[in-house]
Structure 1
Amino acid sequence: MTSFNLFTCSFNGVPAEERLHWRSFLVKLGAENLRGIKNEELLVACHKSVYIVYTVLGDVNIYVVGKDAYDELALSEAIFVITSAIKDVCGKPPTERLFLDKYGKICLCLDEIVWTGLLENIDKDRIKRLVRLKPPTEF
């Protein structure tokens, strides 16, 4: 089984020359640790005072990275919402093909969850309403 890496971060505040290092580090971290774990089993790492929470969902490896206020507990909450949204969009833990078929809708969900590097929404029902592109009924 092959795995597909999802980098949910847009590298906000990370200089361009460091982005390749982080991508390489995350891929290596996943290759070393994600084999054989169960769907949605969370793993935590720390590198250069940055927290990383990562997991597998179907054929997709998901990494959430943060520092300062976004410690491993906050990132665990964020990754739970992300995996839940992906399962809702795909209807099940995704294969790489299913994930790519639903990529547009998944990106809409991710934009509602994380906006410009900040955790924006964690309410599953609100995210569902927002990605339907209809105005929310309550604030």
Structure 2
Amino acid sequence: MLLAVLISNSEGNILVERFYGVLAEERLHWRSFLVKLGSDNLKGAKNEELFIASHKSVSIVYTVLGDVCIYVVGKDEYDELALAEVVFVITSTVKDVCGGKPPTERMFLDKYGRVCLCLDEIVWKGILENTDKDRIKRLIRLKPPTEF
């Protein structure tokens, strides 16, 4: 199960967070842990370069994309390889929403609503739902899909 998807800016401020099955009292721990992990390791990292960590028997894959950092936390069947796929789908979709290039923080915040819709289509209740960029684009138009 995916436990969390967090997107922060380079200073460590959380821009978007989605927790699945994580108790409210544990969320603060995860926020601070992930931001500290990113601040320690993402300085000077290339866009979309994947980093892997493990904490409390869960896997974490994170990366930097433009001015934002993306963290994905999973356990059980969501090992590092599966989380890398989730990160790939999120980064490619965010780039697509932001005009095909890595976003600045301002551009990301300007497209905040569309990014949130995309995240909700990619991950549903802690399970990777959609990986096809074109399908995600169709789904966020809030029209029913025409093909199954």
TM-score range, shorter chain: over 0.9
Aligned to 2:4: none
Give the whole-Å Cα distance in 2 for the aligned partners of 1:124 and 1:3. Answer: 29
CA shift, 1:7, in A, is: 7.1
1:121 aligned to 119, 123, 130, which one? 130
**1:65 corresponding residue in structure 2:** 73
Work out the CA distance in 1 between the residues paired with 2:74 and 2:34: 13
CA distance, structure 1, for counterparts of residue 13 and residue 147 of structure 2 = 35
User: Between Structure 1 and Structure 2, how many residues are aligned?
Assistant: 139
Does structure 1 residue 111 correspond to structure 2 residue 120? yes
CA displacement 1:53-105 (0-9 Å, x = unmatched): 00000000000110001111110001100000000000121111110000000
Equivalent residue for 2:87?
Answer: 79
The alignment partner of 1:41 has SS state of coil
SS in 1 for 2:36: helix
Aligned letter for 2:61? V
Map 1:1-139 → 2, pairs under 5 A: 2-3=10-11, 10-91=18-99, 92-139=101-148
**What TM-score do you get using the length of structure 1 for normalisation?**
0.93
Q: Distance in 2 between matches of 1:71 and 1:56?
A: 20
Aligned-pair CA distance for 1:125: 1.1
Q: Which of 7-16 and 40-49 deviates more?
A: 7-16
Identity %: 76
* Contact persistence 2:12–2:39 (CA under 8 A): no
Normalised to the residue count of structure 2, the TM-score between the two structures is 0.88
**Which structure shows the higher helix fraction?**
1
Instruction: Answer 1 or 2: which has greater strand percent.
Output: 2
Q: Indicate if the aligned counterparts of 1:6 and 1:61 stay in contact, CA closer than 8 A.
A: no
Confirm or deny: 8 A CA contact 2:63 2:71 kept in the other structure. yes
Contact 1:54 1:61 in 2 (8 A): yes
